[in-house]
Amino acid sequence: MKQKFTILFDLDGTLVDTAPDLMLAHNHVMKQFGYPTKSTKEIRNLVGQGAGALLGRSIWGQAKKEFGKVQDEKIKKEMVNEFVDFYGKNIVNESTLINGVKEFLIWSKEKNIAMAVCTNKQEYLAIDLLKKIGIYDFFEYVAGHNTFDYSKPDPRHLTSVVEILEGDLNKTLMIGDSETDANAAKEAGIPLILLENGYTEKNITEIHHNHLVKDFVNIEKIVLKYL
């Protein structure tokens, strides 16, 4: 059987603008534990490496001296659990698909392209979000932060999924929005399409990419070059 072309997608900030709901969950936790809340814009700069990293970076950035309080593993675990619980119950209140996503997924399916999600969100949360926002059925596999013993920026997060799909790294593209995606793709030897307004503090000039796009409108023109 001829191997399909494969596209791997990041989730937060790439397929779905999840920042509004992540902000609500973040601020819920911060209020409970006595830390400053943040705006949706600020949250966009903190997302990408899981709930624990988001909360830790938020507190570290706000008050370095206070970060020692969250070094206690028990408190950190309580904060993460509270975040995941609240977020899981409010996962699609305000989250929306990035412009052009649905149309591109339909086009890719018609082209017989294999598609999978590689995200640092917990696997069950990623699946729940994809189902509730109506695009889960487009994907052949969803790999979350806890699917393997490693996650992005470890390139094995991507290469393992390609292997599971019985794909070919030389016939694979990655679409992401941050340095986490970029570093994983670069190490895996997979070309990256980068969304320019990603969930990252870095400037796009600091992030490795092969192509830069605003959203998914007309992204087919780039993909056709690889098919």
160 contact partners, CB below 8 Å, separation of at least 6: 143, 148
In terms of Cβ atoms closer than 10 Å to its own Cβ (0-12, 13-18, 19+), residue 61 is: middle
CA distance 83 to 51: 7
Judge contact between 15 and 135, C-beta under 8 A.
Answer: yes
Burial label, 225 (beta-carbon count in 10 A; 0-12, 13-18, 19+): exposed
Among candidate residues 29, 19, 145, the one with its CA nearest the CA of residue 76: 29
CA distances, 126 to each of 48, 90, 120 (Å)? 13, 13, 9
Identify whether 10 is a catalytic site residue. Answer: yes
Q: Using CA atoms, how far apart are residues 70 and 84, in angstroms rounded to an integer?
A: 17
The shares of helix, strand and coil residues in the chain, as percent rounded to the nearest 5, are: 50, 15, 40
Catalytic residue among 10, 12, 177, 181: 10
The counts of H helices and E strands in the chain are 9, 8
E-state strands within 21-177: 96-97, 114-118, 141-143, 172-176
Active site residues: 10
